[in-house]
Structure 1
Amino acid sequence: MVAKIDHLDGKGNGQAAIWRENELGNLRKLKLIIPQSLPGETVQVTVDDPSMRWQKMLPDEILVANPDRTEAPCPHFELCGGCVWQHWNYEGQLKYKTDYVKKALQNVGMNPDIVLDTIGMEDPWHYRNKMEFTFSPGGDLGLHEQGNFRKIIPLETCLIAGRNMVDATMEVGEWVKAFDLSGYNKDTHEGLLRHLMVRESFATGEVMLALFATKAPIGDLAAAAEDLIERITKNYPNVKSLMWIVNTDIADRTQSEETFVLAGRDFIYDEMAGYRYRLWFDTFFQTNPVQAQKLVDLALEMGKPQEDEKMIDLFCGVGTFSLPFAARVKELAGIEIVETSIESAKRNAVDNDLHNTTFLARDARKGIDEIHESWGLADLLLIDPPRSGAGGKVMRRIGRAQPKRIVYVSCNPETFATDTAELLQFGYKLQQVQPVDLFPHTVHVECVALLIKN
């Protein structure tokens, strides 16, 4: 069957539709989801059951290719779920992301012409400073297959992870095989090893290895743990944190019931915009440091913080934006609902000799009210919400507070558009939107935007 790809879905898969006659002679629409296809392509596919309303399949053949199609360099690309667009040249990816942001604004009745071209990377490979790999029941270490969280693709390489991270990960994989250790079976809830989290600071060179297992590294596992310590400390001196973390919960998350520090400490140091941060295994930190630096620079450029101003950093996390802004304003208040992140933000401020900050572990709306009651209204507000966005109630609360300037950092163009549209009724104008590509070869795109009070 021949199908024409007319658009991509939110996961980066090609979408096509064909019309078929049913047994009564009536036309029915069959929606096709076709990974590894690109807009405008004509593809040959095999439809197993035409009576279905939708089906997902890989193309059998590309009959008419998008001119930006290229050969994927990674040997795992066709199966691995880590990247979806290695078959699309980088210029094509960036153009699509720009158009995506424009469309999101247009859908809520806002002007798409203020969206600038997406800022890409000079080298869009080996950019990630954090990866989470999973063990198969047989002990293979790798990444999930596309659309199948029960199957693990054994790792030979990873072209988006930092090179030192990949080398250390391969060492752990060899150690597992040497001791014939089992991986965790998600169906039977049996087996030892679940995940390996790897973090690397591109600034300091420090690496963290966090091994998640269902048992502690004692008793019959003590010898294996000692061998792991010897392998890592001997061959990878940049590993400053080697941990064995016990997690017996059925939920498939990287969480800790008990943590054993096998070597080094339980955190690593990273740096951004000239400030130092401590990162634990569960610390949220931007995973592309090169592009994250551009986010900070853009936020500072748009926000124009002044030394006599008060500022709120909403959804502040560990202070990624708080610290560089705090050095330029009179006072800064950071608000974040996750208490561990707030404790990290406080510690990071002290480590960087910043003493004009207040950090609150509060719900966004309550935190804004509390800050306003304690030291008045803010001149400048920065908001960096999760993918789900801030929501109408929070945005309306911001609008009623009337800060002079609002810098919105977004990881989801659609929720960004709906959030910022809420502020129009309060007299704000969306002045500039700058997309930034933090995740090459994936569908994701970040934005930094400026809203000013008319």
Structure 2
Amino acid sequence: MKMAREIMEPRVMETEISHLDNKGSGQAAVWIDRGQDKPRKVKLTIPKTLPGEKVRATVAWPHAKRSKAALEEVMEASPERVPAPCPHFDLCGGCAWQHWQYEGQLRQKTAHVKESLIGQGFDPALVKDTIGMDNPWHYRNKMEFTFAADGSMGLHEQGNFRNIIPLETCLIAGGDMKDAVMEVAAWAKDHGLSGYNKEKHEGLLRHLMVRQSFITGEIMLGLFATETPDGELAQAVEDLKQRIEEKHPKVKSLLWLVNTDWADRTQSEDTHVLAGRDFIYDEIGGYRYRLWFDTFFQTNPVQAQKLIDLALEMAQPKKDEKMLELFCGVGTFSLPFASRVEKLAGIEIVESSIESAKRNAADNGIDNTYFLAENARYGIDRVLDQLGTPDLLLLDPPRSGAGGKVMRKIGRSQPKRIVYVSCNPESFAVDVKELEQFGYTLDQVQPVDLFPHTMHVECCALIELIK
């Protein structure tokens, strides 16, 4: 019994990192001596480590086959290890790889895409090197921050979603965004406003969403709270308006969004415009878009432009061609493609995004588009009845991928060329495999780094009909 208790207790052990998992954490293995029994092999997950490093770590559950371990010391560091510049790096879950030279991050992302394709029987030589950024900092045009129960504001702690790390800065957010966020944090503290307690389901402030156009400079601040901004809150809200208007003139939309739901999401039951408009203007590639608080838009505009250019280059759209776009969102890809084809039909399940796509097309003088608010699986048939067989198809699905039923419908519709934009190499590889039975071949895959210092990677791929 004594031996069993000793095995249950955490242990500090030395090991070597063999590789990284798909969340960016180091993987290693140790052998646990269990006395008279045979040693047990325990596979470890150790965040903030790099391949080839020898480390000392505390194994939380040495009796289990898999265990998370806390890094205690890097005994032999990787030559690519660098000091993380952010003071919150050790705790914050926003960035996982600030301790890794950027070139190493890009190499890992290319390898991740290749491994995903190999798993489905594709040739990894189809994958090109990941396109990185010249300056991989302050690249995000949208961030969401959370209020702790004591009213402080920050990001979730890595591995502990309920704990919030108060922020002094954020090195992946734009500079103007960071300053506006810190202003709201100071305002909440000065007025002694409570944050939302997720366990007790009480408190006022829940989230702060900030987004900024890198082209127009316009900023949106969306404050999610459990009460309306009147009554006892009126004086504090008026102070917030004055602070923002006096110190942050780029803020063109200041919103108070009421959310009383228990679900921990940035949703609004009642939206109050405290100052400015309920949307801001953004631009990509010369096209103007209206963005509301819940509008999905690429969060890295510099790399998003590269994605659009890649998609156009791969697709080679022609003025006499018909095109179908699935998961079209607010028209990020739709508008530049519609300008180059005869007719474009877009499908998106989120009705507000479809309304935005229609408005964005009109704002940019584009009149050859048809947008349908429908599940892609069912919307394809409706659109094909009107459009006929498309010459070109583009899809940009969520992380879960398009799914086998949608991909088989795409295959049966027989477009000549397919451009697949993906944010998840694993689901991308599974989806593309479905098309082989319909006579398609994967021609090329170009990874693009939209999220430096994280494990995420986007891909743009060309798939062609060969039979």
| Matched letter for residue 383 of structure 1 | L
The residue aligned with 1:143 is 155
Pairing 1:233-382 to 2, within 5 Å after superposition:
233-382=245-394
CA contact (8 A) 2:151 2:192 kept: yes
CA contact (8 A) 1:305 1:328 kept: yes
CA contact (8 A) 2:211 2:220 kept: yes
The residue aligned with 1:74 is 86
In the alignment, the residues of structure 2 paired with residue 269 and residue 301 of structure 1 have an alpha-carbon distance, to the nearest angstrom, of 27
Deviation (angstroms), 1:53: 2.6
Pairing 1:46-445 to 2, within 5 Å after superposition:
46-445=58-457
| Matched letter for residue 26 of structure 1 | K
| Matched letter for residue 361 of structure 2 | A
In the alignment, the residues of structure 2 paired with residue 36 and residue 375 of structure 1 have an alpha-carbon distance, to the nearest angstrom, of 51
The residue aligned with 2:24 is 12
In the alignment, the residues of structure 2 paired with residue 293 and residue 167 of structure 1 have an alpha-carbon distance, to the nearest angstrom, of 26
Deviation (angstroms), 1:193: 0.4
What TM-score does the superposition give when structure 1 sets the normalisation length?
0.99
In the alignment, the residues of structure 1 paired with residue 127 and residue 158 of structure 2 have an alpha-carbon distance, to the nearest angstrom, of 32
1:172 alignment partner, SS class: helix
| Matched letter for residue 69 of structure 2 | M
CA contact (8 A) 2:60 2:68 kept: no
In the alignment, the residues of structure 2 paired with residue 415 and residue 310 of structure 1 have an alpha-carbon distance, to the nearest angstrom, of 27
In the alignment, the residues of structure 2 paired with residue 272 and residue 140 of structure 1 have an alpha-carbon distance, to the nearest angstrom, of 34
Deviations 1:326-362 (A, max 9, x none): 0000000000111111111111111111000000011
| Matched letter for residue 74 of structure 1 | C
In the alignment, the residues of structure 1 paired with residue 190 and residue 314 of structure 2 have an alpha-carbon distance, to the nearest angstrom, of 54
RMSD between superposed Cα atoms in Å = 0.9
Deviation (angstroms), 1:428: 1.0
Deviation (angstroms), 1:410: 0.4
In the alignment, the residues of structure 1 paired with residue 117 and residue 231 of structure 2 have an alpha-carbon distance, to the nearest angstrom, of 59
In the alignment, the residues of structure 2 paired with residue 174 and residue 216 of structure 1 have an alpha-carbon distance, to the nearest angstrom, of 20
In the alignment, the residues of structure 1 paired with residue 60 and residue 214 of structure 2 have an alpha-carbon distance, to the nearest angstrom, of 47
Deviations 1:89-137 (A, max 9, x none): 0000000101111111111110110111000000000000000001111
Deviation (angstroms), 1:58: 2.5
Deviation (angstroms), 1:251: 0.5
| Matched letter for residue 198 of structure 1 | V
Assess, with a 3 A threshold, how the Cα gap between structure 1 residues 296 and 48 changes in structure 2: closer, same or farther: closer
In the alignment, the residues of structure 1 paired with residue 394 and residue 115 of structure 2 have an alpha-carbon distance, to the nearest angstrom, of 24
CA contact (8 A) 1:14 1:34 kept: yes
In the alignment, the residues of structure 1 paired with residue 445 and residue 402 of structure 2 have an alpha-carbon distance, to the nearest angstrom, of 17
| Matched letter for residue 142 of structure 2 | K
User: Are 1:38 and 2:50 matched, yes or no?
Assistant: yes
| Matched letter for residue 188 of structure 1 | K
In the alignment, the residues of structure 1 paired with residue 81 and residue 70 of structure 2 have an alpha-carbon distance, to the nearest angstrom, of 16
1:45 alignment partner, SS class: strand
Bigger Cα displacement from structure 2, 69-78 vs 360-369: 360-369
Deviations 1:411-448 (A, max 9, x none): 00111111111111111111111000000000000000
2:354 alignment partner, SS class: helix
What TM-score does the superposition give when structure 2 sets the normalisation length?
0.96
CA contact (8 A) 2:422 2:458 kept: yes
Structure 2 portions without partners, runs of 5+ = 1-12
In the alignment, the residues of structure 1 paired with residue 116 and residue 95 of structure 2 have an alpha-carbon distance, to the nearest angstrom, of 23
CA contact (8 A) 1:36 1:58 kept: no
The residue aligned with 1:22 is 34
| Matched letter for residue 223 of structure 2 | L
In the alignment, the residues of structure 1 paired with residue 71 and residue 159 of structure 2 have an alpha-carbon distance, to the nearest angstrom, of 16
1:59 alignment partner, SS class: strand
Deviation (angstroms), 1:49: 4.4
2:71 alignment partner, SS class: coil
Deviation (angstroms), 1:256: 0.4
Deviation (angstroms), 1:453: 1.0
Bigger Cα displacement from structure 2, 333-342 vs 61-70: 61-70
* Residue identity (%): 68
In the alignment, the residues of structure 2 paired with residue 110 and residue 346 of structure 1 have an alpha-carbon distance, to the nearest angstrom, of 38
CA contact (8 A) 2:60 2:69 kept: no
Deviations 1:148-197 (A, max 9, x none): 12111111000000110000001111111111111111111111100000
Deviation (angstroms), 1:46: 2.3
In the alignment, the residues of structure 2 paired with residue 305 and residue 48 of structure 1 have an alpha-carbon distance, to the nearest angstrom, of 55
In the alignment, the residues of structure 1 paired with residue 149 and residue 355 of structure 2 have an alpha-carbon distance, to the nearest angstrom, of 37
The residue aligned with 2:5 is none
Q: How many residues align?
A: 454
In the alignment, the residues of structure 1 paired with residue 181 and residue 173 of structure 2 have an alpha-carbon distance, to the nearest angstrom, of 10
In the alignment, the residues of structure 2 paired with residue 245 and residue 209 of structure 1 have an alpha-carbon distance, to the nearest angstrom, of 10
